[in-house]
Amino acid sequence: MKSLINEDFLKAYRRLPKEVREQARKAYQQFKQNPQHPGLNFKSIHPSQPFYSARIGRGYRTVGILDEEVIIWFWIGSHADYDTLISSL
């Protein structure tokens, strides 16, 4: 599966604490090697739309949209903000 990021993701990523950015880089590498790695908890988060999430460390998530075999990550943030985001999808 190919993995891309967009400008919204980059803006949010740059606002994260340094240690979370490092965790995100590690998770991204892990995703490239094995998207189904249990530590990523990669999963569908919407019943009818192709929205997916992955775990970034203990308290952060990232969200993307899957288009065939390409996922475009458009959001990254705290788990609390993630809960708010997915309730609006």
Residue corresponding to tokens 């990669």: 42
Range of the domain at 10: 2-87
pLDDT at 12 over 90: yes
What is the DSSP pairing of strand 2-5 with strand 43-44?
Answer: unpaired
Q: Domain containing 73 — which CATH number?
A: 3.30.2310.20
- pLDDT tens sequence across 15-70: 999 999 999 999 999 999 999 999 999 999 999 999 999 999 889 999 999 999 99
Q: What pTM did the predictor assign? A: 0.91
**CA distances (Å), origin 9, targets 13, 48, 56:** 6, 23, 13
Above 90 in pLDDT, residue 1?
Answer: no
pLDDT at 9: 97
pLDDT of residue 88: 87
Total count of domains within the chain: 1
